[in-house]
A = this chain, B = another copy of it.
Amino acid sequence: MTYKLTYFNFTALGEPIRFLLSYLNIDFEDNRIEVEQWPSVKHTIPYGKLPLLEIDGKVLNQSTAICRYLAKKANLAGSDDWESLLIDIAVDNFQDFRLSIISYWYEQNEESKAAKYATLVNETIPYNMERFENIVIENNGYFVNGKLSWADLFFVGILDYLKFRSEIDLLKDRPNLQALREKVLAVPKIKSWIEKRPSTVDIA
């Protein structure tokens, strides 16, 4: 089977997919679109959004759906329906958190942007990061049930980008999330990917 991932030349929503493909030891074409190219490419893309994964030419969009599919193959999607539910909830909570950062970033009105940044720094980031830290404490070092799942890979995969866009060290004073990050980055197949991936502006 052939796998082609099309995404921008940074981590963000592409990286959890790259993590999972690497974890599965799947060779994939890592097709990176430069931001300057995007306006001329956008209209050719279903729903006008990236990432896209093509499997044997079948075009798939929606990063969480793609990650869940790959995670099932990797046995990282929960061992029963309840565990899968808890993983899905964790991922969608990260996605909501990502959206609040992105919503600030793309805001065009300068006054609204400043107001959004204040809410982000004073409320949204501390509130969410504290919850995430506590969930990892309650779940023995992982997001769900004390074992590695795609929720952990997803969180660590998008973290650099969220830090870059918010300009805030999200893991500061969050030792359990820091330890989780180290564990994920030390998984051999993820480690090999990190060592060979292109250097991009959003990687710390």
Q: Which of A46-90 contact B (CB under 8 A)?
A: 46-49, 60-62, 64-66, 68-69, 72-73, 81-82, 84-85, 88-89
Are B64 and A85 in contact (CB-based, < 8 A)? no
Is B47 a contact partner of A60 (Cβ separation < 8 A)? no
With A47-B131, A112-B108, A112-B109 as known contacts, state yes or no: A68 contacts B88, CB within 8 Å: yes
Q: Is the CB of A62 within 8 A of B93?
A: yes
- Contact between A69 and B93, CB atoms less than 8 A apart: no
Contacts of A64 in B (CB 8 A): 88, 92
Given B48, B61, B111, B128, which contacts A89 in the complex, CB threshold below 8 Å? B61
Interface status of A96 (Cβ within 8 A of chain B): yes
Give every chain B residue within 8 A of A92 (Cβ-Cβ).
62, 64-65
A32–B47 Cα distance when bound, in Å, is 34
Query: Whole-angstrom distance from the CB of A159 to the nearest CB of chain B?
Result: 18
Q: Are B109 and A88 in contact (CB under 8 A)?
A: no
Find the B residue at minimum CB distance from A47: B93
- Which residue of chain B lies nearest to A61 when distances are taken between CB atoms in the complex? B89
Among A123-140, those with CB < 8 Å from B are 127-128, 131
In the complex, which residues of chain B have a beta carbon less than 8 angstroms from the beta carbon of A48?
A: 127
A108 partner residues in chain B, CB cutoff 8 A: 112
Tell me, rounded to whole Å, the shortest Cβ–Cβ distance linking A179 to chain B.
23
Interface contacts beyond A49-B96, A69-B88: sample of 6 additional A-B pairs, CB < 8 Å, sorted by A: A48-B127, A65-B85, A66-B85, A73-B81, A99-B99, A109-B109
